[in-house]
């Protein structure tokens, strides 16, 4: 219905309401992560008596999980292009793969958090630890919400409601998903790749 | 019948008569931008009165030295809630009221892009407003100032639950603002009538577009600041714990990166309103429309580069101070352009001093005073002397009250017939203006002197003998004169409504106005336009009424009745009402209370929110037989409203 209506009644910009709203929302999200990243940058040296970032980060491990997350953007693109071709089966396959890769990333984050806590870096240990868990936690919540969206699309598809004409819905979820991935590139660079202080 | 009218006999989403049914059920489920606008306005006026009563308490306490009306602790709560209420629960939602009601009408649309999200914005705002005020009875209101500076807002210096209510309550109203901002941005960019290019949009709509974009980018910053505060207070995070090396200035930076755009979020709607009122009553087009628009955009951009002028006394270093001094002086330029353009619009015009026009002229004069004292803050040596004194209080009240409240009242008098179909009494309106002007200057004028004499703000009392007595008494008397003027307004609203009962609605064009919203009958029918107009020029409505004769003189070519639509269209396809925005919003304060008092409360709150989201997605939007399993926010009916002819 919406798609039919959209083609009948073009919008002023030529972009549908839903897609434009997602773009505007993502613009807003930039500032959200911008503020969180700034907070982290301010506190990356303030580890008080707790573990310092350089003591605790396992860069090879996080690199692998970052790779997993970035690959999920590829599968997201494949999911969309499958649906655009009308290939429902591959669309489902790639949606599921994307969600699984996202879940794998979240699993890695849960593992990382637990091992940090075991090594003495809790949420309240230092300004550094508070900022670290808040920034990566917010990103993790964003990935998790993305997984919920992907699974909703998948369920919708299994009920026969996700057809070629709905490809814009997948595209919009994809916009969100790619955004969350791109943000991770920044977060990964800022937190892990910039040389970190040790205690 | 035109092709914009969808002929259909489906049961949902079709009003055979474009007329509201009345009754409370209609209001709690409405997705109509006009009703939501009215809800915003009514709610915000209630909170305006609440915030005003808090102001009167402050002035009673400070009227004489060693005041005993409020204790120090209560005083902190009252002035904090005065600021929070006036900014977040009165001024912003009043702007939202005008925006919601007028934007679709001014661009020739039948509703906003996402009608249900629009309802959600209002209910979430109301939930946040009630939540904030619940603090009075649930352990004490916020007491750290509306700016909530760290570490004063932390658990050590503010142990009551007040600042928790502040942080969570503002987070909730922030969601409302963000959702509404996205919605209105998409509406303005996507739903303009055919022919209405961006540079044919009325100035009000333009200013609102700038405001929505400011909100889109400013709200997440305050959201982060509030999250840091919530995490610090609730979970012991160390963002503002100086003993561990945290920097309390982080809060100030985040807060003012939001807070200064917020100043423009507050003022630009008022600028937009008077940019409609002044040309109408000067009987001239606005002078320098493009300059008006671009100066608004310039303010929107430059508003991001001046935040640290709130922090000149906090030790940010000479380089930062110099840079922000300069940028602050620069931002006075586009504002000056606007003032000049309003004056030039009035220059040589056949000015009619209606109540709306008086308030608009009030904005120009009072805001200019506030703007000039603002420039004195931009000079950092002077500012270090003025910081935290009543001089600052005087400045921002001239800007906020003189600039915003006067503008909003101008809007009330101007658009009242549009919304309710009858005029407000003009004589009472003029009395309202003059009483308010006198009271306003009596209240806030003397605060300049008090501040320069060294009276600091936020103190709950002062000793005799410092020379503060006279001007404090004058200010307190003035505040009650302001209260009288608001009372006159309320009486005017009631008297005018009673008088209008049983009378026919006022004519279609009471002011000989200029923009598209007046092409619909008064009050606006539920479907707005019978036929979406094709726009050819700025001030489209005016150009349909007036033309030029062979000698180039302006002559009337059509009466308002001929140009206005009569609102008689039937069967116009409109989005259906929904319960879910309300249910979702009711869950939010439960989650908030749960975070403060007992996590168990978050469970029913969370269930309400998640449940209503699913119900929202699965409710048939306009076609009960069609597929409705998509997990997107699409308001299918809204796309119907996209301009076509």
Question: At B622, is the pLDDT very low, low, confident or very high (cuts 50, 70, 90)?
Answer: low
Predicted local confidence at residue B571, as pLDDT: 75
Q: Which residue of A has its CA nearest to B618?
A: A156
- Full DSSP string of A104-159: HHHHHHHHHHHHHHHTT--TTS-HHHHHHHHHHHHHHHHHHHHHHHHHHHHHHHHT
Q: Which residue of B has its CA nearest to A1?
A: B636
B640 near A CB under 8 A = yes
Question: At B364, is the pLDDT very low, low, confident or very high (cuts 50, 70, 90)?
Answer: very high
Rounded to whole angstroms, the Cα distance separating B84 from B192 reads 35
A16 near B CB under 8 A = yes
Predicted local confidence at residue B1, as pLDDT: 34
Give A-chain residues touching B632 at CB under 8 angstroms: 18, 169, 172
Predicted local confidence at residue B621, as pLDDT: 56
Rounded to whole angstroms, the Cα distance separating B76 from A80 reads 56
Structure token pair of residue A184: 């991770």
Predicted local confidence at residue B16, as pLDDT: 31
Instruction: Read off the pLDDT of residues B249-260 as tens digits, 9 standing for 90 and up.
Output: 999 999 999 999
Give A-chain residues touching B643 at CB under 8 angstroms: 9, 12
Asked if B540 and B558 count as a contact pair (C-beta separation under 8 A), the reply is no
Q: Is B468 helix (H, G, I), strand (E, B) or coil?
A: coil
Chain B stretch 77-116, residues whose beta carbon is closer than 8 A to a beta carbon of chain A? 113-114
Instruction: Read off the pLDDT of residues B259-288 as tens digits, 9 standing for 90 and up.
Output: 999 999 999 999 999 999 999 999 999 999
The residue among A16, A31, A157 with the most chain B CBs within 10 A of its CB, best to mutate, is A31
Structure token pair of residue A45: 């040296």
The verdict on a CB contact (< 8 Å) between A10 and B642 is yes
Question: At B508, is the pLDDT very low, low, confident or very high (cuts 50, 70, 90)?
Answer: confident
- What mean pLDDT value characterizes chain A? 93
Question: At A9, is the pLDDT very low, low, confident or very high (cuts 50, 70, 90)?
Answer: low
B217 near A CB under 8 A = yes
Asked if B587 and B607 count as a contact pair (C-beta separation under 8 A), the reply is yes
Asked if A56 and A116 count as a contact pair (C-beta separation under 8 A), the reply is yes
Question: At B642, is the pLDDT very low, low, confident or very high (cuts 50, 70, 90)?
Answer: very low
B11 near A CB under 8 A = no
Q: Among B244-248, B560-564, B575-579, which is the least confidently predicted range?
A: B575-579
A2 near B CB under 8 A = yes
Instruction: Tell me the nearest-neighbour CA distance from A153 into chain B, angstroms.
Output: 7
Look at residue B633 and tell me whether its pLDDT is greater than 90: no
- Which residues neighbour B178 within 8 Å (Cβ) at sequence distance 6 or greater? A28, B215, B216, B219, B220, B223
The verdict on a CB contact (< 8 Å) between A9 and B644 is yes
Rounded to whole angstroms, the Cα distance separating B361 from A11 reads 38
Residues above pLDDT 90, as percent of chain B: 82
Phi, psi angle pair for B389, to nearest 5°? -110, 175
Question: At B594, is the pLDDT very low, low, confident or very high (cuts 50, 70, 90)?
Answer: very high
A24 near B CB under 8 A = yes
The verdict on a CB contact (< 8 Å) between B642 and A21 is no
Q: Which residue of B has its CA nearest to A150?
A: B631
Give A-chain residues touching B241 at CB under 8 angstroms: 127
Nearest 5 degrees, angle CA B338-CA B344-CA B348?
A: 160
Look at residue B626 and tell me whether its pLDDT is greater than 70: no
According to DSSP H, which parts of B283-354 are helical?
289-302, 318-346
Give B-chain residues touching A127 at CB under 8 angstroms: 238-239, 241, 244-246
Q: Find the mean pLDDT for residues B65-92.
A: 96
Size (chain A), residues: 199
The verdict on a CB contact (< 8 Å) between A134 and B231 is yes
Asked if B271 and B296 count as a contact pair (C-beta separation under 8 A), the reply is yes
Radius of gyration in angstroms for the set of CA atoms belonging to chain B, rounded to a whole number: 25
Chain A stretch 106-135, residues whose beta carbon is closer than 8 A to a beta carbon of chain B? 123-127, 129-131, 134
The verdict on a CB contact (< 8 Å) between B190 and A152 is no
CA–CA distances in Å: residue B313 to residues B157, B310, B399, B439:
21, 8, 21, 32
Return the DSSP state at B227: H
Look at residue A167 and tell me whether its pLDDT is greater than 60: yes
Instruction: Tell me the nearest-neighbour CA distance from B600 into chain A, angstroms.
Output: 21
Q: Find the mean pLDDT for residues B387-394.
A: 96
pTM score of the predicted model: 0.92
B622 near A CB under 8 A = yes
Nearest to B228 among A13, A17, A39 (CB): A39
> How many other CB atoms sit within 10 Å of the CB of residue A4?
12
Question: At B552, is the pLDDT very low, low, confident or very high (cuts 50, 70, 90)?
Answer: confident
Nearest to A153 among B227, B246, B631 (CB): B631
Nearest 5 degrees, angle CA B510-CA B514-CA B516?
A: 95
The verdict on a CB contact (< 8 Å) between B634 and A153 is no
Asked if B478 and B63 count as a contact pair (C-beta separation under 8 A), the reply is no
The verdict on a CB contact (< 8 Å) between A169 and B245 is no
CA–CA distances in Å: residue B429 to residues B53, B97, B280:
22, 20, 18
Rounded to whole angstroms, the Cα distance separating B436 from B359 reads 10
Look at residue B484 and tell me whether its pLDDT is greater than 80: yes
Q: Among B6-15, B307-316, B424-433, which is the least confidently predicted range?
A: B6-15
- Full DSSP string of B490-536: HHHHHHHHHHHTTSPPPPS-TT---SGGGGS-SSPPTTS-SSPPPP-
- For B242-265, b/e burial (b = at least 16 CB within 10 A) is eebebbbbbbbbbbbbbbbbbbbb
> How many other CB atoms sit within 10 Å of the CB of residue A28?
21
The residue among A40, A127, A132, A165 with the most chain B CBs within 10 A of its CB, best to mutate, is A127
Instruction: Read off the pLDDT of residues A119-156 as tens digits, 9 standing for 90 and up.
Output: 999 999 999 999 999 999 999 999 999 999 999 999 99
Look at residue B624 and tell me whether its pLDDT is greater than 70: no
Give A-chain residues touching B188 at CB under 8 angstroms: none
- What mean pLDDT value characterizes chain B? 90
Instruction: Read off the pLDDT of residues A56-108 as tens digits, 9 standing for 90 and up.
Output: 999 999 999 999 999 999 999 999 999 999 999 999 999 999 999 999 999 99
Phi, psi angle pair for B573, to nearest 5°? -75, 120
Instruction: Read off the pLDDT of residues B83-118 as tens digits, 9 standing for 90 and up.
Output: 999 999 999 999 999 999 999 999 999 999 999 999
Instruction: Tell me the nearest-neighbour CA distance from B624 into chain A, angstroms.
Output: 11
> How many other CB atoms sit within 10 Å of the CB of residue B89?
27
Q: Find the mean pLDDT for residues B512-536.
A: 93
CA dihedral A9, A14, A17, A20 (to 10 degrees): 180
Q: Which residue in the block uniquely carries the two structure tokens 């930039």? A: A30
Asked if B113 and A17 count as a contact pair (C-beta separation under 8 A), the reply is yes
Nearest to A109 by CA among A157, A74, A143: A143
Regarding beta strands B554-556 and B546-548, do their DSSP bridges make them parallel or antiparallel, or are they unpaired? antiparallel
Q: Is B340 helix (H, G, I), strand (E, B) or coil?
A: helix
Look at residue A32 and tell me whether its pLDDT is greater than 90: yes
> How many other CB atoms sit within 10 Å of the CB of residue A119?
12
The residue among A12, A83, A183 with the most chain B CBs within 10 A of its CB, best to mutate, is A12
Q: Find the mean pLDDT for residues B121-136.
A: 97
Question: At B635, is the pLDDT very low, low, confident or very high (cuts 50, 70, 90)?
Answer: very low
Instruction: Tell me the nearest-neighbour CA distance from B299 into chain A, angstroms.
Output: 19
Nearest to B186 among A24, A34, A123 (CB): A24
The verdict on a CB contact (< 8 Å) between A48 and B244 is yes
Return the DSSP state at B309: G
Residue that wins the pLDDT comparison between B549 and B227: B227
Q: Find the mean pLDDT for residues A21-35.
A: 97
The verdict on a CB contact (< 8 Å) between A126 and B244 is yes
Question: At B294, is the pLDDT very low, low, confident or very high (cuts 50, 70, 90)?
Answer: very high
Full set of structural domains in chain A with CATH: 2-193 (1.20.120.80)
Asked if A125 and B228 count as a contact pair (C-beta separation under 8 A), the reply is no
Residue that wins the pLDDT comparison between A198 and A77: A77
- Which residues neighbour B251 within 8 Å (Cβ) at sequence distance 6 or greater? B148, B149, B150, B153, B225, B228, B229, B239, B240
The verdict on a CB contact (< 8 Å) between B254 and A1 is no
Q: Is B359 helix (H, G, I), strand (E, B) or coil?
A: helix
Phi, psi angle pair for B554, to nearest 5°? -80, 125
The verdict on a CB contact (< 8 Å) between A42 and B192 is no
Instruction: Tell me the nearest-neighbour CA distance from A105 into chain B, angstroms.
Output: 23
Q: Find the mean pLDDT for residues B354-360.
A: 98
**Long-range own/partner contacts, residues A77-80 (CB < 8 A, 24 or more apart):** A77/A174, A79/A170, A79/A174, A80/A167, A80/A170, A80/A171, A80/A174
Structure token pair of residue B176: 């409302």
Q: Find the mean pLDDT for residues A17-38.
A: 97
């Amino acid at each position: 219905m919406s798609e039919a209506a959209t083609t009948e009644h073009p919008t002023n910009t030529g972009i549908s309401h839903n897609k434009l709203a997602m773009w505007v929302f993502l613009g807003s999200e930039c500032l959200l992560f911008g503020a969180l990243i700034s907070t982290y940058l301010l506190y990356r040296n303030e580890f008080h008596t707790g573990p310092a970032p350089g003591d605790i980060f396992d860069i090879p491990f996080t690199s692998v999980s970052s790779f997993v997350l970035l690959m999920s953007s590829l599968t997201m693109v494949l999911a969309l292009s499958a649906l655009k071709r009308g290939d429902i089966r591959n669309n489902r396959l790639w949606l599921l793969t994307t969600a699984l890769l996202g879940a794998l990333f979240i699993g890695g984050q849960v593992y990382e958090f637990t091992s940090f806590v075991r090594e003495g870096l809790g949420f309240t240990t230092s300004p550094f630890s508070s900022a670290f868990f808040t920034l990566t936690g917010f990103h993790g919540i964003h990935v998790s919400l993305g997984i919920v969206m992907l699974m909703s699309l998948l369920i919708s598809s299994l009920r026969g409601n996700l057809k070629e004409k709905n490809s814009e819905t997948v595209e919009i979820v994809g916009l969100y998903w790619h955004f969350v991935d791109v943000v991770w590139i920044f977060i990964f660079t800022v937190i892990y790749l910039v040389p970190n202080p040790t205690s | 019948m035109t092709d914009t009218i969808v002929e259909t006999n489906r049961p949902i989403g079709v009003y055979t008569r474009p007329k509201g049914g009345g009754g409370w059920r209609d209001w709690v489920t409405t997705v109509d931008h006009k009703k939501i606008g009215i809800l915003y306005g009514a709610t915000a006026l209630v909170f305006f009165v609440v915030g005003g009563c808090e102001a009167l308490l402050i002035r009673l306490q400070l009227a004489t030295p060693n005041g005993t009306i409020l204790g120090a602790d209560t005083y902190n709560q009252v002035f904090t809630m005065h600021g929070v209420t006036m900014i977040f629960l009165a001024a912003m939602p009043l702007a939202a009221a005008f925006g919601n009601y007028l934007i679709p009408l001014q661009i020739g649309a039948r509703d906003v892009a996402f009608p249900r999200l629009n309802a959600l914005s209002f209910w979430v705002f109301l939930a946040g407003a009630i939540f904030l005020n619940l603090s009075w009875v649930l352990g004490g209101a916020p007491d750290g100032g509306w700016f909530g500076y760290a570490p004063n807002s932390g658990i050590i210096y503010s142990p009551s639950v007040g600042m928790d209510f502040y942080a969570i309550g503002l987070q909730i109203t922030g969601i409302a603002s963000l959702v509404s901002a996205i919605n209105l941005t998409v509406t303005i960019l996507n739903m303009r009538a055919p022919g209405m290019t961006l540079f044919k949009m009325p100035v009000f709509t333009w200013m609102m577009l700038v405001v929505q974009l400011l909100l889109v980018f400013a709200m997440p910053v305050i959201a982060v600041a509030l999250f840091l505060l919530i995490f610090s207070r609730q979970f012991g995070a160390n963002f503002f714990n100086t003993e561990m090396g945290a920097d309390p200035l982080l809060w100030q930076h985040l807060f003012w990166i939001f807070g200064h755009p917020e100043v423009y979020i507050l003022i630009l709607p008022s600028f937009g309103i008077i940019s409609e009122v002044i040309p109408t009553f000067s009987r001239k087009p606005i002078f320098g429309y493009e300059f008006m628009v671009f100066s608004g955009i310039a303010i929107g951009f430059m508003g991001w580069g001046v935040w640290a002028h709130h922090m000149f006394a906090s030790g940010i270093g000479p380089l930062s101070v110099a840079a922000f001094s300069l940028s602050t002086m620069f931002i006075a330029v586009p504002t000056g352009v606007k003032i000049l353009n309003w004056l030039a619009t009035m220059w040589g015009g056949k000015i009619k001093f209606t109540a709306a026009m008086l308030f608009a002229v009030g904005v120009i004069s009072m805001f200019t005073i506030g703007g000039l004292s603002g420039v004195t803050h931009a000079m950092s040596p002077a500012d270090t002397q003025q910081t935290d004194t009543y001089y600052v209080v005087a400045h921002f009240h001239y800007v906020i009250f003189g600039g915003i409240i006067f503008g909003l009242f101008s809007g009330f008098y101007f658009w009242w017939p549009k919304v309710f179909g009858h005029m407000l009494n003009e004589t009472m309106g003029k009395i309202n203006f003059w009483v308010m002007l006198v009271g306003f200057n009596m209240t806030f004028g003397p605060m300049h002197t008090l501040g320069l004499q060294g009276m600091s703000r936020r103190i709950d009392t002062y000793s005799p003998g410092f020379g503060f007595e006279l001007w404090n008494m004058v200010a307190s008397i003035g505040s009650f004169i302001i209260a009288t003027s608001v009372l006159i307004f309320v009486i005017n609203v009631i008297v005018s409504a009673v008088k209008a009962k049983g009378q026919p609605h006022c004519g279609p064009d009471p002011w000989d106005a200029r923009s598209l919203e007046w092409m619909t009958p008064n009050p606006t029918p539920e479907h707005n336009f019978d036929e979406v107009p094709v726009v050819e020029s700025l001030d489209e409505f005016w150009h349909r009424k007036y033309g030029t004769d062979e000698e180039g003189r302006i002559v009337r070519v059509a009466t308002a009745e001929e140009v206005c639509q009569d609102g008689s269209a039937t069967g116009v396809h409109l989005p259906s009402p929904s319960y879910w925005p309300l249910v979702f919003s009711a869950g939010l304060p439960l989650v908030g209370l749960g975070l403060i008092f007992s996590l168990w409360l978050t469970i029913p709150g969370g269930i309400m929110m998640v449940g209503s989201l699913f119900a929202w997605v699965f409710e048939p939007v306009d076609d009960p037989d069609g597929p409705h399993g998509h997990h997107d926010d699409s308001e299918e009916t809204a796309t119907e409203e996209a301009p076509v002819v």
